Amino acid sequence: MGHLLESCATTGMRRVMQHWDSVTIVGVGLIGASIGLALRERGLAKNVIGVGRRASTLRKARQHGAVTSTTTDLSRGVRDSRLILISTPVERIAPLVLEATAGCKPDAIITDAGSTKLKIVRTVEFALRSSTDRAAFVGSHPMAGGEKTGPEHGQANLFEGRVAVVTPSKQSNPEAVRQIELFWQLLGSKVVRMSPKDHDRSVAAISHMPHLIASALAAATPAEELQLASTGWMDTTRIASGDPELWRQILVQNTNGVLKSLDKFEKVLAALRRALERDDQGKILQLLQAGKQRRDSLGN
């Protein structure tokens, strides 16, 4: 299970970590741009370097104020930074981490913002298992975002009050783990430490399965009925507007976790169906009350 860390770091560590000369963000979409905006607004970095494949996206990030400079050359973008964040679709994260380690300073720390962790961490650590003089990698995942993509939708306050999960393994450098935890705290997040395996199990239930269900609901709704769509349908299916390719990658990388969560969901759905078929109004009420109680427990 996850361990919630205190949001206030020690005074000494805060002095050490409250400013970076250069930070590199690889992938300047919604999350990457929001990280850049938060760093700049909070005065945490003098230079924020954006790395990407498309010059048009990099230009938008620069115009939006998320980065101070940009490049399409990853090795050039990471060579002077001691903090590097990979914020791309999950299938590209591990290869980019490995490419970054080949071009950055050996005392740099690399983290990511991917929605899956186990496959990424295992791939990176297996590839670097015999390396000693290299940058440290620590996986992480800010539980924040939205269905809109692109740097123009970045928000400096996106991470304030939100959970950021940090996922060290037995091979992780302890000091690098502490610094990545402090990094997310300085962006306003509540940090939870979890193993990569526990992370993927939890986000399957709280994030990945809900997206799958919202997409299925939207796809199953006849087009001719949409003229009556109001807040109930719109609220329930909002996340189905997320980038389909990005979500394909997430679901494929966390298939086992999503399938286990779907098993639990299908049992509840089957119980509700049986209650409807049998006109068991007591059971219907019980299931609806269970759902309301779980939702209301969050308080918002």
8 Å CB contact between 151 and 28: yes
Closest C-alpha to 166, from 187, 186, 179, 180: 180
Residues in CB range of 171: below 8 A, 6 or more apart: 125, 129
Distance in angstroms (rounded) separating the CA atoms of residues 297 and 206: 14
Consecutive 10-residue averages of pLDDT for the chain (300 residues): 51 52 96 97 96 95 96 96 97 97 94 97 92 88 86 95 96 95 97 98 96 97 96 95 94 96 97 98 97 91
| Tokens linked to 121 | 């961490």
Task: Check residue 238 and report its DSSP letter.
Answer: G
pTM: 0.89
Q: Number of C-alpha atoms within 13 angstroms, CB side, residue 159? A: 28
Residue 145: per-residue pLDDT: 82
Domains of the chain: residue spans and CATH? 3-194 (3.40.50.720), 199-296 (1.10.3660.10)
| Tokens linked to 225 | 């009925």
Length of the chain equals 300
Closest C-alpha to 26, from 119, 157, 114: 114
Rg (CA), the chain: 21
SS (H, E, C) 88-130: CCHHHHHHHHHHHHHHCCCCCEEEECCCCCHHHHHHHHHHCCC
Pairing assessment for the beta strands 3-4 and 190-193 based on DSSP bridges: antiparallel
Task: Check residue 9 and report its DSSP letter.
Answer: P
